[in-house]
């Protein structure tokens, strides 16, 4: 199967005051075309941050996001958003 997403060594960092906080460090995975894929972890482990980074809603500070064989540019283009959309969590559901 062809990979739809290939995430390579993804890192996301934020600054809090004068300190840098590594929210996600070195995450890699591949999602095959037609496959179901889940990210599982404890609360605060960075699951949503990884997805937000893939969608361009959080800063990618390291690594690579590849969609359908092509590196994803910053900012994401309209073609990317026609194919990829985020479904946000509803904490009240």
Total number of domains in the chain: 1
The answer, yes or no, to whether residue 9 has pLDDT greater than 80, is yes
Residue 35 Cα distances to 21, 42, 84, 93, angstroms: 33, 23, 15, 26
**Residue 11 is assigned to a structural domain of this protein:** yes
Give the pLDDT confidence of 11-37 residue by residue, as tens digits. Answer: 999 999 999 999 999 999 999 999 999
Q: CB count, 10 Å around CB of 63?
A: 17
Q: Is residue 88 part of a domain?
A: no
Q: Which range marks the domain in which residue 15 is found?
A: 3-83
Answer yes or no: is 19 within a domain: yes
Helix (H) or strand (E) holding 8: strand 3-16
The tens digit of pLDDT for each residue in 45-82 reads: 999 999 999 999 999 999 999 999 999 988 888 989 99
Tell me if 41 is assigned to some domain.
Answer: yes
Report yes or no on 61 lying in a domain.
yes
What CATH number is associated with residue 34?
A: 3.40.50.300
pTM, two decimal places = 0.86
Does residue 92 sit within a domain?
no
Query: In whole angstroms, what is the distance from residue 54 CA to residue 86 CA?
Result: 10
Note whether residue 45 is domain-resident: yes
């Amino acid at each position: 199967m062809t990979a739809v997403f290939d995430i390579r060594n993804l890192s996301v960092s934020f600054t809090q005051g004068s300190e840098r906080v590594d929210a996600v460090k070195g995450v890699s995975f591949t999602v095959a075309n037609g496959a179901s894929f889940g990210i599982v972890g404890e609360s605060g482990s960075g699951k949503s941050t990884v997805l937000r980074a893939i969608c361009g809603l959080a800063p990618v500070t390291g690594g690579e996001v590849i969609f359908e064989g092509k590196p994803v540019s910053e900012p994401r283009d309209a073609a990317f958003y026609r194919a990829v959309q985020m479904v946000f969590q509803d904490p009240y559901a």
